[in-house]
Amino acid sequence: MSRAFCLVLAEMTAGGFATLIFVPPHVLGPSFFRFAGLLYAASLAGALYLLHRAAPGVMPTGAAYALAIPVATYTVLAWTRWRGIGYLCVWASLPAAALFVARLASAGAESAVGGEAATVASYGASALFTGSAMTAMLFGHWYLTTPDLPVRYLQRLNFVVIGGLVLVIARAMVTAGLLRSGVGDAAVLSAPVLGGVVVLARVLFGLVATALCIGLTWYCLREESTQAATGFLYLVVCFSLMGEFISHMLAPQLRLPL
């Protein structure tokens, strides 16, 4: 359980910092970038510490340092007059974030089909989904203090969240098909708790409820009700993290990402 929590936190941090590229720096003051930098720097530090303590064999040291450098630089520069230059660190972090997620996946490759490549794709989908949801929720708060901020920016970020949801739903459908065809360890699902409750929670909360909340967010943004949209994004963050946590708990037993 601790390993699953560490992985979700690490994925969310890498994906969240990378998706800051969808937040336009020229329309916001320094407060957002300072807060986002502190949040993701603290989250990355916490994830690396927990990975080192709870799952030392999973923690990709070199890739972690490669990601920590642009995150730390961005956070420091956000408090200076060179915050525009600091924003370039977000773009510079993209290959580092991808490498970090890939190294996380390779350290705990649990896919019975496609091997490491399938697991890397699965971890990447989780990082994009949870990270973009977190960044969108943070960004939504700034519409309360900047009412003239064009809603199209939050709509654009919400489309990234929708893309992440599509990927994790497609992953779940592929896994279901593979299990029906005898690939993986479907016998694990026959256990009363694992098969009846945990998988149901994964589907209902991690996929169905999340999709419903994202749909309501899209509707609210179409009506330019950013406050309501931000409230639903809170739920998207909660449900997506819950779903990916359950997915990481199930994957080693199923030998497939769910």
The per-residue pLDDT string of the chain (258 residues; one tens digit each, 9 = 90 and over) reads 577 888 899 999 999 999 999 998 888 888 899 999 999 999 999 988 888 787 666 667 788 889 999 999 999 998 988 878 888 999 999 999 999 998 888 776 555 555 677 788 889 999 999 999 999 999 999 988 887 889 999 999 999 999 999 999 998 888 777 777 766 555 556 665 555 677 788 888 889 999 999 999 999 999 999 999 999 999 999 999 999 998 888 777 766 665
Q: How far apart are CA 93 and CA 69, in angstroms?
A: 9
Number of structural domains (the chain) is 1
pLDDT at 183: 62
Q: How far apart are CA 258 and CA 205, in angstroms?
A: 13
pLDDT at 40: 95
pLDDT at 166: 96
- CATH at 219: 1.20.1630
The parent domain of residue 97 ranges over 2-254
Q: Contacts from 43-52 at CB under 8 Å and sequence distance 24+?
A: 43/9, 43/12, 43/13, 43/16, 44/10, 44/13, 44/14, 44/17, 44/68, 44/71, 46/9, 47/6, 47/9, 47/10, 47/13, 48/10, 50/2, 50/5, 50/6, 50/9, 51/6, 51/7, 51/10
Which amino acid appears at position 122 of this protein? S
pTM (two decimals): 0.91
Q: What tokens were used for 206?
A: 């991690």
pLDDT at 159: 96
pLDDT at 202: 84
Q: How far apart are CA 173 and CA 2, in angstroms?
A: 26
Find tokens 């199930």 and name the residue: 250
pLDDT at 114: 55
pLDDT at 235: 96
Q: How far apart are CA 160 and CA 172, in angstroms?
A: 19
Question: Within 10 A of 145 (CB to CB), how many other CB atoms are there?
Answer: 11
Question: Please, which residues have CB within 8 angstroms of residue 193's CB and are 6 or more apart in sequence?
Answer: none
Half-sphere exposure of 51 (CA within 13 A, CB side): 23
Question: Within 10 A of 227 (CB to CB), how many other CB atoms are there?
Answer: 12
- What is the rounded end-to-end Cα distance, in angstroms, of the chain? 16
Query: Radius of gyration of the chain from Cα atoms?
Result: 18
pLDDT at 146: 83
If DSSP states are collapsed to H, E and C, what string results for 56-78? CCCCCHHHHHHHHHHHHHHHHHC
pLDDT at 113: 55
Q: What tokens were used for 96?
A: 């580092």
Please state at what angle helix 2-18 crosses helix 61-77, rounded to 10 degrees. Answer: 50
Question: Please, which residues have CB within 8 angstroms of residue 5's CB and are 6 or more apart in sequence?
Answer: 50, 54, 245
